[in-house]
Amino acid sequence: MQLQILTPSSILLSEKVQKIITEAPGGSFCLLPRHIDFVTALVPGLLLYTDADNKEHFLAVDEGILVKQGEHVRVSTRRAIRGESLETLRQTVKQEFGQLDEKEKQLRSSLARLEADVVRRFLELEGRHG
């Protein structure tokens, strides 16, 4: 099978694989080359695949969509992170999401200041015309 992992900004992975294991809302499942075509939503979690040399690889994926059509399997997700082992992947995910949390806090703070400024300006205009 040809596995592609697509994020909004890039093609993270395009590789021949023998097996894919990941998780949908109904639970985890395994894809092999002769499985029927289908589409499913993915929940945030792990995606494990076995490459042509029978080596296992791990990815952490955000929610997304998996489409199997013939020999092609495409996963579209907002975020995906590769790891050589489960331990390194865990550390990378923890670090990445920590950075995202900090950026989110900064964004929320900036948005709150912007909203307060808009309200203040409306009150000033209302005071001038009231």
CA pair distance 107, 84, nearest whole angstrom: 32
103 pLDDT band, cuts 50/70/90, is low
Pair (55, 111) in one structural domain: no
Pair (90, 126) in one structural domain: yes
Pair (53, 110) in one structural domain: no
12-62: per-residue pLDDT in tens?
A: 999 999 999 999 999 999 999 999 999 999 998 889 999 999 999 988 888
- Judge whether residue 90 has pLDDT over 80: no
Pair (96, 115) in one structural domain: yes
100 pLDDT band, cuts 50/70/90, is low
Among residues of the chain, what percentage have pLDDT more than 90?
A: 52
- Judge whether residue 93 has pLDDT over 80: no
**Residue-level pLDDT at 13:** 94
What Rg do the C-alpha atoms of the chain give, in angstroms? 21
CA pair distance 59, 56, nearest whole angstrom: 10
Pair (69, 93) in one structural domain: no
Pair (46, 67) in one structural domain: yes
Pair (115, 60) in one structural domain: no
Pair (78, 93) in one structural domain: no
Pair (32, 79) in one structural domain: yes
**What is the tally of helices (H) and strands (E) in the chain?**
1, 9
Pair (32, 78) in one structural domain: yes
Strands (DSSP E) found in the chain? 2-7, 10-24, 27-31, 38-42, 45-51, 56-61, 64-69, 72-77, 80-83
CA pair distance 23, 18, nearest whole angstrom: 17
Please count the structural domains in the chain: 2
Token pair for residue 119? Answer: 């309200």
Domain coverage including residue 122: 85-130
> 83, 98, 118 — which closes off a domain?
83
Q: Model's pTM, two decimal places?
A: 0.69
CA 62 to chain centroid, in Å, comes to: 3
